[in-house]
Chains A and B, each alone.
Chain A
Amino acid sequence: MIRPLAARYPGAAAMTEIVAELLAYVRAKHPRSLAGVEEARRLDPARFDGYADLLVGWAMRALGDRAIARTVDAFALFSSDVNMAQGRYEASGSYEHKSYRGCYEAVYADKATMDDYLWGVYLTNFMWVHHLDISAFFETRFVAKLPARAALIELAPGHGGWGLVAMHRRPDARLDGFDISPSSIEISRALAAAAGLADRARYELRDALDLTSHPAGVADACICNFLVEHLEDPDRLFQVIEHVLAPGGKAFVSGALTAAQVDHIYEFRRESELVLLAERHGMRVLETLSVQPQRTLPRAQFLPRSMSLIVQKRTREHW
């Protein structure tokens, strides 16, 4: 006999069915992850629940009955992977891989590994406490201020969740996403269809760094979350952002600082490095947010941070 949700997760009666199912599954199958997930929900229960209903709801339409098990198992695997990488980083003082080739062989070459990776990252948008902060910053300070009928370009959408949230909130906007990974394109398209957004969110298999050959100045806005630390040469990414943005267009860019992951290459140590990178490539930095997990490894010398910048393509020398 299946126990009712209320018996499987305390307080389930006050939650939506999706949130209660999600937390009950974490508690039953991944108890080591429960403290972190509950921490995120405590920060902002309404926002957490809203994202859970939205993102997990789309995943349920894309994957069917197995969606919660599929995505939460992937989340637990990804989070464990990140935590182990951070532990090894503390010991060695540098990221494991220094080149795209090394990451390709460790992660990108295997489709099953990539699928797990992307579904795992998808849930971090609200199940990691500091990324819930970034999601709020993205929606309230960037998406809400997009111009009417905005044309967006998303560079390396990964799972596609960021751009799809933007499309969901702004029914007048449209988005073109470019990613080098076939898994990314497959998952992004599946989620776009599940969200009823496939007519406005299109994805193409293409290296985002090659977009300097794309028509210039075509985007009113650009999204690029958590690509920059995966690159050997981050300057190339900002060259692309500058190229695709129309004058005065805005971009939302996020990156990781002293936060290890098996495929993180470029080690940003200070927030100013990302700011200066943007400024070097014709951007005015309008707003920034640097966030960290609430708990870290004991005696940590590196504080893993995620930083987001809202930048605007300059139309004059200084602004």
Chain B
Amino acid sequence: MAIIDELTGVFRQVFGDDELVVTRATTAADVEGWDSLTHVSLMLSIEKRFAIRFKSAQVASLENVGELADLVEALANK
């Protein structure tokens, strides 16, 4: 499964929206409720799903889903 598809599943679970679609270009401004607190829930859920651990500086600087996908891929392949 492509990483964006797997991330979409996590996004839908965290934001409680089964219709939510994310692409590499999606940003916080595009998803209702994606604020600093839901970002934590999202990051912790992604950590669990991919068995990885983010550093704080990494999650703070993410600007869009594409950057998130690249980071997840890099950490998962370590």
Residues on A facing B (Cβ under 8 Å): 31-36, 76-77, 79-81, 83-88, 91, 262, 295-298
- CB pair A87–B36 under 8 Å, yes or no, is no
Q: Which residue of A lies closest to B63 (CB)?
A: A29
Question: Which chain A positions have C-beta within 8 A of B34?
Answer: 32
Looking across the interface, which residue of chain B has its beta carbon closest to that of A262? B56
Residue contact B41 to A84, C-beta cutoff 8 Å = no
In the assembled complex, the Cα of A206 lies from the Cα of B30 at a distance in Å of 48
Chain A residues with CB under 8 A of B29: 31
- 22 CB contacts below 8 A, A to B, read A31-B27, A32-B28, A32-B34, A32-B35, A33-B35, A35-B35, A36-B35, A36-B36, A76-B60, A77-B60, A80-B36, A80-B59, A81-B56, A81-B57, A83-B39, A84-B40, A84-B59, A88-B44, A262-B56, A295-B35, A297-B37, A297-B41
Tell me if B43 is interfacial: C-beta within 8 Å of chain A: yes
Contact with A along B38-78 (1 / 0, CB 8 A): 01110110000000001011011100000000000000000
Question: Cβ of B37: which chain A residues have Cβ within 8 Å of it?
Answer: 83, 295-297
* B28 engages A87 (CB within 8 Å): no
In the bound complex, residues from chain B placing their C-beta under 8 Å from that of A298 are 41
Using A31-B27, A262-B56 as known contacts, say yes or no to A80 and B41 having CB atoms under 8 A apart.
no
Cβ–Cβ contact B35 & A84, under 8 A: no
Of A79, A88, A296, most B-chain CB atoms within 10 Å: A88
The answer, among A31, A80, A91, A296, for a CB contact under 8 Å with B56, is A80
Q: Which residues of B sit under 8 angstroms from A297, Cβ to Cβ?
A: 37, 40-41
Write the residues of chain B forming the contact surface with A, with a CB cutoff of 8 angstroms: 27-29, 34-37, 39-41, 43-44, 54, 56-57, 59-61
Q: Report the minimal beta-carbon distance from B56 to chain A, rounded to whole angstroms.
A: 4
Cβ of B45 to closest chain A Cβ, rounded Å: 10
- How close is A81's CB to chain B, nearest CB, in angstroms? 4
B48: nearest chain-A partner, CB-CB: A91
Select from chain A the residue with minimum beta-carbon distance to B54.
A84
Most B-side CB within 10 Å, residue of A84, A88, A296? A84
The secondary-structure label for the interface of chain B is: helix
* A34–B33 CA distance with the chains assembled, in angstroms: 11
Cross-interface CB contact of B39 among A32, A81, A86, A296, cutoff 8 Å: A32
Given contacts A77-B60, A80-B56, A81-B60, contact A33 B44 (CB under 8 A): no
Q: In angstroms, how far is the closest chain B Cβ from the Cβ of A73?
A: 9
Shortest beta-carbon contacts, A-B, top 5: A80-B60, A81-B56, A35-B35, A87-B40, A31-B28
Q: Are B35 and A87 in contact (CB under 8 A)?
A: no
Instruction: Give A253 to B56 CA distance when docked, in angstroms.
Output: 28
Please measure, in the bound complex, the distance between the C-alpha atom of A251 and the C-alpha atom of B20, giving whole angstroms.
Answer: 52
In the complex, what residues of A have CB within 8 A of residue B39's CB? Answer: 32, 80, 83
Nearest CB of chain B from residue A113's CB, rounded to whole Å = 9
Tell me the complex Cα distance, A34–B36, Å.
Answer: 8
Within the complex, what minimum Cβ distance (angstroms) separates A151 from chain B? Answer: 39
- How many angstroms from the CA of A88 to the CA of B54 in the assembled complex? 11
Specify the chain A residue showing the minimal Cβ separation from B55: A84
A91 to B36, CA, bound (A): 18
Q: Are B36 and A35 in contact (CB under 8 A)?
A: yes
Select from chain B the residue with minimum beta-carbon distance to A299. B41
* Cα of A32 to Cα of B27 in the assembled complex, Å: 9
In angstroms, how far is the closest chain A Cβ from the Cβ of B66?
16
**In the complex, what residues of B have CB within 8 A of residue A35's CB?**
35-36
Q: Which residues of B contact A91 (CB under 8 A)?
A: 44
Shortest CB distance A115–B (Å): 14
